[in-house]
C-alpha cells in the first residue's frame, strides 16, 4: 500500500490561522499553513529644520519615485513609503480650498518675518514654525487601504493616542485636526493623487503660538490653538515628541519603521 505523502505547507493570505484538512477518500494528508502578510515598511527621514520650499522639494522627490513606478518608467531609485519629519522656518501656508489670498494680507504676514506659500494640500491658512513637529507621510495607499477618508482618520487617531501618552485628553471634531477642547493642537492637511499621499500633520510642541494670532487658523472662527507645552504647563520639545509620534504611527498603520 502506498504511504500518504508528507504534509505540504501552503502559504495563504490573508488568514492568520492554521488549518488541517484531511481528504480521507483520497487517502491524502494535507496541511494548510497560513502565514501573516508582511507589514509595510516605511522609511523615516529626519530633515531637521528646513524652509517650506525645501520641504516641498523633498516630498516631490519621494512622490516622483512612486509615480515612476506606477507608470512603469525606468527609475534610478525604487519607490519607498516614507515619513518625512521636520521643523520649518516661520511660514504661513494656504491650501487649495482658499480663494486667491489678498495681496495686502500676504504682504502684511510677510512683514511679520514669515514666508508665505501656496500649496496643493487641503485646508485653509495655517502657520508652521520652529517648535512644531511636521510630519509628511509619502505613502502609496494601495499598500494600506485605498481610502482618503480612512487615511485622514488614521492620522487623527495617531495624534490622539500620542496626546494620551502625554496625559492630554485630545479628540476630533467636525473640523479636521486634533483638538484639546476648543483649541487645535494638531493641524492636518493632505494631498492625494493616484493614491500617493503628501503633506500631512503639524503638531504644536513648544512653538510660539502668537504667530497664529495674525490669522484665522484653518479658517475656523471662534476657536484657538494650543500646544503640548501649553496643555501640560511644562516644556515639551520636538525631540521629546518624535519617538512617541513614530511609535503611535507604527501601531496605527500596522507598519514597520526603518530608520
Q: How far is CA 3 from CA 7, 26, 27, 28, in A?
A: 12, 12, 9, 9
Cell matching residue 229: 507645552
DSSP 170-210: -B--SSSSEEETTEEEEEEEEEEETTEEEEEEEEESS--GG
Q: Which residues contact 235 (CB under 8 A, 6 or more apart)?
A: 206, 229
Q: How many angstroms separate the most distant Cα atoms in the chain?
A: 93
Spatial distance between the Cα atoms of 256 and 253, rounded to a whole number of angstroms: 9
* Choice among 135, 163, 218, 255 that is catalytic: 218
Question: What are 137's strand-pairing partners?
Answer: 83
Q: How far apart are CA 79 and CA 251, in angstroms?
A: 22
10 Å CB burial of residue 89 (0-12, 13-18, 19+) is middle
218 is known as an active-site residue: yes
Catalytically annotated residues? 218
Amino acid at each position: 500500500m502506498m504511504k500518504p505523502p508528507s504534509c505540504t505547507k501552503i502559504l495563504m493570505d490573508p488568514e492568520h490561522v492554521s488549518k488541517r484538512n484531511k481528504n480521507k477518500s483520497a487517502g491524502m494528508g494535507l496541511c494548510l499553513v497560513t502565514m501573516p502578510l508582511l507589514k509595510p515598511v516605511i522609511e523615516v527621514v529626519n530633515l531637521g529644520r528646513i524652509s517650506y520650499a525645501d520641504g516641498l522639494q523633498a516630498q516631490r522627490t519621494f512622490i516622483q519615485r512612486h509615480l515612476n513606478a506606477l507608470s512603469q518608467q525606468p527609475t534610478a531609485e525604487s519607490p519607498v513609503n516614507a515619513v518625512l519629519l521636520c521643523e520649518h522656518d516661520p511660514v504661513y501656508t494656504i491650501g487649495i480650498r482658499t480663494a486667491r489670498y489678498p495681496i495686502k494680507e500676504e504682504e502684511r504676514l510677510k512683514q511679520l518675518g514669515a514666508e508665505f506659500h501656496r500649496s496643493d494640500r487641503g485646508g485653509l491658512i495655517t502657520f508652521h514654525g520652529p517648535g512644531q513637529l511636521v510630519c509628511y507621510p509619502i505613502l502609496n495607499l494601495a499598500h494600506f487601504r485605498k481610502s482618503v477618508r480612512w487615511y485622514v482618520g488614521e492620522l487623527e487617531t495617531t495624534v490622539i493616542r500620542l496626546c494620551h501618552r502625554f496625559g492630554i485628553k485630545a479628540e476630533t471634531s467636525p473640523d479636521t485636526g486634533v483638538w484639546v477642547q476648543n483649541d487645535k493642537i494638531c493641524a492636518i492637511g493632505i494631498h492625494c493623487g493616484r493614491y500617493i499621499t503628501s503633506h500631512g500633520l503639524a503638531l504644536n510642541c513648544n512653538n510660539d503660538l502668537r504667530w497664529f494670532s495674525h490669522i484665522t487658523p484653518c479658517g475656523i472662527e471662534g476657536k484657538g490653538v494650543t500646544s503640548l507645552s501649553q496643555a501640560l504647563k511644562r516644556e515639551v520639545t520636538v525631540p521629546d515628541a518624535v519617538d512617541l509620534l513614530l511609535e503611535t504611527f507604527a501601531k496605527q498603520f500596522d507598519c514597520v519603521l526603518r530608520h
